[in-house]
C-alpha cells in the first residue's frame, strides 16, 4: 500500500511538471506568433487611441479651412516673411525654386514656402502626425479629391489632396502603400494657397503688365532653326510672347535641344513672366523629342484597357519633357475615334468607346500633371468623326449639340470634372452650332458651350492657326482677333514670323479701337498666370539628364 501511494505521488508530480512545461511551450509559441503578426499587421489601436486620432484629423481639417495648422500660428496667404523671422528668427536652411523659396525650422518641425513676401505653404512634421495612418485619413475624410505621386532617390510617396474650401488645399503625404505595408504612417501635411491668389500690399502681377505684355502672353509662337535666331529673340524681347512650341525641325539631338531651350530661357529672363515651353509628345506616331524609345500608341493602350499603364505613360511623358526643359505637353488626345476613315486621329485615339477614352485619357492627364507638366487635352469638341485632315482643309461635322453630348463631349466633360487645366480647340465647322466660324473662332463653341455650359475655367488654346483649315479662309490677324473675341486665351501660331507679328498687332489694334476690351484681355491673362503659377514654371536653366533612365522605363512598359 505504501509503495502504491509513492507511485501515485510520483505520477502526480510528473503530470504537474509536464503540464507546466507544455504551458510554457504554448506561451512561447503564442508569443512568437504574436510577434510575427505584429510585424505584418500592426496591433489595432484602442478605442481611446482611435478616438484621439480622429479628433486630431478633424482638428487639422477645421484649422485648415482658416489657413492654419495645429501648433503653427501663421496663416497661409496672409503671414508675411518678416512676421516669421521676427517670431522664429532666421531659418536653418532655405531652398529657392524659381520665384518660390522654402525655409526650414527643424526645431519647430515646420517648413514654410513663400512667394514674394507672403507665406503661402505651411508644412508640419510634428511627432503626433506619425500616429495617423493611411486608413485613418480615408476613413475620416473620405476619398481624396486628387491622388498624386512623388518619387526620387530618397522617397516614394503618395499625396492625398483635399480641397478644404475655395482657398486652401490640404495635402497628406505618406510613403506609397505596398504589399508589405499597406497602411503606412503619415509623413507630413502641407497646407497651401494658390500663389496667384496671394494678397499683399504689392500690386498683382497682372496690374504690373503693359498691354503689349498682356497680348504677348496670349501668343504661343513657333520658331525657326535649332538655335535662338534673331527673329526668335525679337519675339521674346520686343513682342513678349508668352510661350514657344517646338517641332522636330527645332530638335535634332538631346544636347542641341537642351541648348536651344536654355538659350530661349536666358533670352526671356528679362521679362517678368516665364514661358510656356510646349511640344506635341503624344507617344506613338506623334513625337517630337529626339533620343527616346517609342511609346505605344493610344490605340494600343486602349486595346490593353489598363488605366495604370495610361497613368504611367503620362508620368513617362512628363519625365521626358522635364529632361528637355519643357513644361507643357499637347496630350492626351481624348477624341473618340468614331469614324474609321478619319485621316488625322486614327491610332492617336484610345478607341471608339467614349467611356474607355475618358478613363484612359484622364489617367494619362493625371500622370502628367502629377509630375508637374501641364497636360493639354485635345481636340475640343471632338475630332474623331471627321473625314478631312484640318492640316489641309476645314472639316465639317453635321451634328447637333445633343448628338455631341452623346459621344464626342463625354471625355471632355469628364476631364473638366477631373480638373483639366488646358483644353485645345480644333478647327472644325459645326454648322448646327455655328454656321459661320470654325470651333477655334466660334463664340458658340468656346464661350457658350465650353465656358458657360461645361463650366471650364482653365486656359483655352487654339490648334495651330497656320493650318490650311484656317489660312485658306482667313487672314492671320483677322483669325486671331475673331478667336479672342470668341473666347480663346492662347493663339497658337506654329510658323511664319510675319504671321505671328501681324496677329499680335491686329489684337492690339482691336483693343485700341474698342473691338476687344482690355478687361477681356485681362481675363485670358489671369487664367494664363494662374496655370503658370500652379505649376510653378520658371526660366531656370535645365541640367543635362541621362535619357537612358527614361528609355529603360519605356522598354519596361513594352514588356
In the 3-class helix/strand/coil scheme, how is 199-233 assigned residue by residue? CCCCCCHHHHCCHHHHHHHCEEEECCCCCCCHHHH
Model pLDDT, residue 119: 92
Are residue 333 and residue 369 in the same domain, yes or no?
A: yes
- How many beta carbons lie within 10 A of that of residue 167, not counting itself? 16
The domain tally of the chain equals: 2
Distance of CA 130 to the CA centre of its chain: 28
Query: Which residue in the block uniquely carries the three cell numbers 488646358?
Result: 422
Is 187 one of the annotated active-site residues of the chain? Answer: no
| Order of all β-strands in the sheet with 93-97 | 93-97, 100-105, 110-115, 118-124, 188-193, 168-175, 156-163, 146-151
> Do 349 and 335 contact (CB within 8 A), yes or no?
yes
Model pLDDT, residue 460: 98
Dihedral of the CA atoms 272, 217, 225, 480 (nearest 10)?
A: -160
Are residue 546 and residue 401 in the same domain, yes or no?
A: yes
Model pLDDT, residue 394: 83
Are residue 226 and residue 180 in the same domain, yes or no?
A: no
Model pLDDT, residue 100: 80
Q: Does the residue 235 lie in any domain?
A: yes
> pTM, whole model, 2 decimals?
0.67
Distance between CA atoms of 460 and 438, rounded to whole angstroms? 15
β-bridge mates for residue 189, sequence order: 124, 172
Are residue 234 and residue 182 in the same domain, yes or no?
A: no
The CATH number of residue 323's host domain is: 3.20.20.300
Distance between CA atoms of 49 and 195, rounded to whole angstroms? 37
Are residue 100 and residue 178 in the same domain, yes or no?
A: yes
Q: Does the residue 468 lie in any domain?
A: yes
pLDDT in tens, 485-495: 999 999 999 98
Are residue 171 and residue 268 in the same domain, yes or no?
A: no
Is 83 one of the annotated active-site residues of the chain? Answer: no
Distance between CA atoms of 31 and 20, rounded to whole angstroms? 17
Model pLDDT, residue 14: 44
Q: Does the residue 12 lie in any domain?
A: no
Model pLDDT, residue 40: 40
Are residue 169 and residue 239 in the same domain, yes or no?
A: no
Are residue 312 and residue 379 in the same domain, yes or no?
A: yes
Show Cβ contacts of residue 436 under 8 Å, excluding neighbours closer than 6 positions: 442
Select which of 391, 405, 448, 468 is catalytic.
391
Q: Does the residue 41 lie in any domain?
A: no
Are residue 466 and residue 524 in the same domain, yes or no?
A: yes
Are residue 343 and residue 223 in the same domain, yes or no?
A: yes
Are residue 118 and residue 260 in the same domain, yes or no?
A: no
Are residue 238 and residue 106 in the same domain, yes or no?
A: no
Q: Does the residue 32 lie in any domain?
A: no
Q: Which domain holds residue 296?
A: 217-553
Model pLDDT, residue 340: 79
Q: Does the residue 37 lie in any domain?
A: no
Low-confidence ranges of the chain (pLDDT < 50): 1-43, 199-202
Q: Does the residue 209 lie in any domain?
A: no
Select which of 136, 347, 414, 463 is catalytic.
463
For residue 321, what is its C-alpha cell? Answer: 519633357
Q: Does the residue 117 lie in any domain?
A: yes
Amino acid at each position: 500500500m505504501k509503495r502504491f501511494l509513492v507511485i501515485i505521488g510520483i505520477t502526480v508530480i510528473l503530470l504537474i511538471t509536464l503540464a507546466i512545461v507544455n504551458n510554457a511551450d504554448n506561451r512561447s509559441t503564442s508569443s512568437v506568433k504574436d510577434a510575427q503578426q505584429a510585424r505584418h499587421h500592426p496591433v489595432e489601436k484602442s478605442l481611446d487611441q482611435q478616438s484621439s486620432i480622429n479628433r486630431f484629423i478633424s482638428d487639422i481639417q477645421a484649422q485648415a479651412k482658416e489657413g492654419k495648422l495645429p501648433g503653427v500660428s501663421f496663416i497661409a496667404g496672409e503671414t508675411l516673411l518678416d512676421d516669421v523671422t521676427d517670431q522664429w528668427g532666421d531659418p536653418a536652411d532655405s531652398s529657392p525654386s524659381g520665384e518660390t523659396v522654402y525655409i526650414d525650422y527643424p526645431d519647430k518641425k515646420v517648413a514654410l514656402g513663400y512667394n514674394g513676401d507672403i507665406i503661402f505653404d505651411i508644412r508640419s512634421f510634428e511627432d503626433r502626425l506619425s500616429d495617423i495612418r493611411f486608413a485613418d485619413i480615408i476613413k475620416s475624410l473620405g476619398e481624396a479629391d486628387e491622388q498624386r505621386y512623388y518619387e526620387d532617390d530618397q522617397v516614394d510617396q503618395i499625396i492625398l489632396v483635399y480641397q478644404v474650401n475655395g482657398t486652401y488645399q490640404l495635402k497628406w503625404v505618406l510613403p506609397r502603400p505596398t504589399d508589405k505595408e499597406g497602411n503606412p504612417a503619415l509623413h507630413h501635411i502641407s497646407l497651401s494657397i494658390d500663389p496667384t491668389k496671394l494678397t499683399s500690399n504689392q500690386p498683382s502681377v497682372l496690374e504690373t503688365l503693359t498691354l503689349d505684355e498682356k497680348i504677348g502672353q496670349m501668343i504661343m509662337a513657333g520658331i525657326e532653326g535649332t538655335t535662338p535666331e534673331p527673329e526668335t529673340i525679337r519675339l521674346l524681347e520686343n513682342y513678349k510672347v508668352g510661350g514657344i512650341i517646338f517641332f522636330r525641325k527645332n530638335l535634332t539631338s538631346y544636347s542641341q535641344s537642351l541648348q536651344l531651350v536654355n538659350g530661349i530661357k536666358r533670352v526671356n529672363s528679362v521679362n517678368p513672366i516665364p514661358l510656356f515651353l510646349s511640344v506635341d509628345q503624344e507617344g506613338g506616331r506623334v513625337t517630337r523629342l529626339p533620343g527616346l524609345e517609342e511609346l505605344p500608341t493610344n490605340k494600343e493602350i486602349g486595346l490593353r484597357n489598363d488605366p495604370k499603364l495610361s497613368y504611367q505613360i503620362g508620368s513617362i511623358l512628363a519625365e521626358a519633357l522635364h529632361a528637355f526643359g519643357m513644361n507643357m505637353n499637347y496630350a492626351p488626345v481624348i477624341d473618340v475615334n468614331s469614324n474609321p476613315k478619319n485621316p488625322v486621329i486614327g491610332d492617336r485615339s484610345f478607341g471608339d468607346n467614349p467611356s474607355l477614352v475618358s478613363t484612359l485619357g484622364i489617367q494619362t492627364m493625371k500622370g502628367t500633371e502629377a509630375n508637374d507638366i501641364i497636360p493639354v487635352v485635345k481636340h475640343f469638341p471632338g475630332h474623331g468623326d471627321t473625314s478631312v485632315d484640318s492640316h489641309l482643309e476645314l472639316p465639317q461635322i453635321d451634328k447637333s449639340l445633343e448628338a455631341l453630348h452623346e459621344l464626342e463631349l463625354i471625355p471632355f466633360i469628364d476631364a473638366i470634372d477631373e480638373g483639366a487645366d488646358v483644353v485645345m480647340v480644333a478647327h472644325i465647322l459645326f454648322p448646327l452650332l455655328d454656321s459661320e466660324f470654325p470651333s477655334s473662332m466660334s463664340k458658340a463653341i468656346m464661350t457658350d458651350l465650353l465656358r458657360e455650359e461645361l463650366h471650364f475655367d482653365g486656359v483655352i488654346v487654339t490648334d495651330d492657326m497656320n493650318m490650311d483649315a484656317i489660312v485658306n479662309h482667313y487672314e492671320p490677324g483677322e483669325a486671331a482677333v475673331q478667336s479672342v473675341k470668341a473666347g480663346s486665351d492662347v493663339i497658337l501660331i506654329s510658323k511664319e514670323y510675319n504671321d505671328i507679328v501681324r496677329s499680335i498687332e491686329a489684337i492690339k489694334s482691336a483693343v485700341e479701337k474698342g473691338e476687344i476690351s482690355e478687361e477681356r484681355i485681362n481675363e485670358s491673362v489671369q487664367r494664363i498666370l494662374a496655370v503658370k503659377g500652379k505649376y510653378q514654371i520658371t526660366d531656370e536653366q535645365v541640367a543635362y539628364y541621362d535619357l537612358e533612365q527614361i528609355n529603360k522605363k519605356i522598354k519596361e512598359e513594352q514588356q
